[in-house]
């Protein structure tokens, strides 16, 4: 078998593994749930995704500002989508 043929088979296997990993919906997070599952869970029960623990100093302010930034970005995205 030539080197070119082996590299072609390797590339095909790589993409097969990549596609099957994406299609499975599994995530790489420590809790075993993927972003897809977490997103679906948060959509139906937002309280289940809220953090209950204590924040480090300054982390609460950062989290609030980041939430505002993400909300504004989503608002702009929705406005662009619906107002054409």
Please state, in angstroms and rounded to a whole number, the distance separating the CA atoms of residues 73 and 79.
Answer: 10
**The two structure tokens encoding residue 63:** 């989290």
Please state, in angstroms and rounded to a whole number, the distance separating the CA atoms of residues 63 and 45.
Answer: 20
Instruction: Confirm whether pTM is higher than 0.85.
Output: no
What are 14-66's pLDDT values in tens digits? Answer: 878 877 766 655 544 444 444 555 666 777 777 777 777 787 888 889 989 99
Residue 36: DSSP 8-state: H
Q: What residues contact 38, with CB distance under 8 A and at least 6 apart?
A: 27, 29, 49
């Amino acid at each position: 078998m030539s080197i070119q043929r082996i590299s072609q088979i390797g590339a095909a296997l790589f993409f097969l593994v990549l596609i099957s990993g994406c299609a499975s919906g599994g995530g790489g997070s420590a809790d075993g749930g993927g972003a897809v599952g977490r997103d679906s869970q948060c959509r139906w029960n937002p309280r289940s995704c809220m953090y209950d623990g204590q924040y480090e100093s300054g982390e609460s302010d950062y989290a609030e500002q980041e939430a505002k930034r993400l909300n504004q970005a989503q608002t702009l995205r929705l406005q662009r989508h619906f107002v054409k």
